[in-house]
């Protein structure tokens, strides 16, 4: 009996598997499909990290909640004006990707649309303006040096490199996109038509992009052609800034026309300065 039963069990093991008994307490574990190809995650609110977004008020650009840390940022935040000296305060203004930059550069080349401010109202950036100004500095210095070198060689005169082209260009471009928006910010606030400070930095930074191809075209050794190039670039830049601020400045009352005219003329003055100093070759 015992051996027979044992033999029966042994035969069952050899011939086939023992059917499993279902356990009612057993819970099947299911793994969700991974989405490693999806980046950033759908729950993120920004391109850099979730929860970090530029402020939405038009009067004070840096008026984010003071104290503590931004949700999802994992970085401590200062309070009051101390926040302006932290990296986290400026990180949202570099929260752009290549497609954003390309779209904004295209907007600057079509100044009559006047939709740049509307499209960047919720996400103004400082990344584009910084690299536009930096590119202008090196392009202006290199093109100016090349043009003067060719002019001296054609007349068989001695040529010396002018390092002041770099320092002068840096002062003009960095200074212009910093000082002019600050002054305009104060003026608009005085006339009860406040605009975001970073929004103004963004607008003026992209308005200078048209001068990059203009500088490259200035290598043509024709003075009339250089004046035309400088004039067209200045007109496009001035129109871009004036039209994008016109709708906003309308709330300033009857003085809006004077403000827009001043903005337009100031941008044209920049083009004239660039023509006289960078587009003019003296031998």
DSSP string across 201-243? HHHHHHHTTTHHHHHHHTTSS-HHHHHHHHHHHHHHHHHHHHH
Domain boundary among 59, 76, 95: 95
155 in a domain, yes or no? Answer: yes
User: Both 134 and 259 in a single domain?
Assistant: yes
Domain presence at residue 26: no
Last residue of a domain, one of 29, 60, 95: 95
- For 45-80, the pLDDT digits (tens) are 445 444 444 444 444 443 333 344 444 444 445 556
Find out whether 271 and 230 touch, Cβ atoms under 8 Å. Answer: yes
- 16 found inside a domain: no
Distances (CA, A) of 9 to 1, 19, 64, 200: 12, 13, 76, 86
**Rounded to two decimals, what is the model's pTM?**
0.69
Q: Which of 35, 66, 95 is the last residue of a domain?
A: 95
Q: Are residue 122 and residue 226 in the same domain, yes or no?
A: yes
Would you say residue 4 lies in a domain? Answer: no
Domain encompassing residue 229: 99-277
- Listing DSSP states for 62-127 in one string gives T-PPPSSB-TTT-SB---GGGGGGSHHHHGGGG---HHHHHHHHHHHH-TTS--HHHHTTT---SH
User: How many domains is the chain built from?
Assistant: 2
Residue 63 and residue 180 in one domain: no
Same domain, 211 and 233: yes
3-state SS class at 50? coil
User: Does residue 6 carry a pLDDT above 50?
Assistant: no
The answer for residues whose C-beta is within 8 angstroms of residue 140's C-beta and 6 or more apart is: 165, 169, 173, 215, 274, 278
What's the CA gap between 72 and 119, in Å, rounded?
26
User: What pLDDT score was predicted for residue 78?
Assistant: 52
What confidence tens digit (pLDDT) does each residue in 71-116 have? 444 444 555 666 667 777 778 888 888 999 999 999 999 999 888 9
Instruction: Mark whether 83 and 160 lie in a shared domain.
Output: no
Residue 191 inside a domain? The answer is: yes
Whether 17 is in a domain gets the answer no
How many beta carbons lie within 10 A of that of residue 173, not counting itself? 23
Is there a domain that residue 201 lies in? yes
Q: Widest CA span of the chain, in angstroms? A: 122
Query: What local confidence, expressed as pLDDT, does residue 188 receive?
Result: 85
Q: 79 lies in a domain?
A: yes
Total residues found in the chain within this entry? 283
């Amino acid at each position: 009996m015992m051996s027979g039963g044992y033999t029966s069990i042994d035969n069952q093991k050899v011939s086939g598997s023992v059917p499993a008994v279902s356990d009612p307490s057993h819970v099947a574990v299911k793994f969700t499909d991974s989405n490693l190809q999806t980046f950033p995650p759908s729950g993120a609110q920004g391109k850099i990290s979730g929860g970090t977004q530029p402020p939405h008020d038009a009067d004070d650009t840096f008026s984010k909640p003071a104290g503590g840390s931004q949700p999802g940022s994992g970085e401590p935040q200062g309070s009051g004006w101390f926040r302006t000296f932290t990296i986290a305060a400026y990180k949202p203004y570099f929260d752009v990707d290549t497609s954003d930059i390309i779209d904004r550069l295209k907007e600057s080349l079509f100044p009559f649309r006047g939709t740049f401010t509307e499209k960047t109202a919720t996400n103004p950036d400082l990344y584009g303006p910084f690299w536009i100004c930096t590119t202008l500095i090196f392009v202006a210095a290199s093109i100016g040096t090349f043009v003067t070198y060719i002019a001296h060689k054609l007349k068989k005169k001695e040529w010396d490199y002018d390092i002041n082209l770099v320092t002068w260009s840096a002062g003009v471009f960095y200074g212009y996109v910093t000082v002019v928006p600050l002054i305009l910010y104060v003026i608009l606030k005085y006339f009860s038509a406040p605009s975001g400070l970073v929004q103004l930095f963004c607008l003026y930074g992209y308005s200078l992009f048209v001068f990059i191809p203009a500088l490259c075209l200035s290598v043509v050794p024709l003075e009339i052609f250089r004046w035309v190039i400088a004039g067209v670039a200045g007109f496009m830049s001035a129109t871009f800034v004036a039209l994008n601020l016109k709708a906003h400045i309308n709330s300033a009352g009857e003085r809006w026309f004077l403000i827009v005219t001043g903005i337009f003329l100031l941008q044209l003055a920049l083009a004239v300065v660039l023509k006289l100093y960078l587009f003019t070759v003296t031998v």
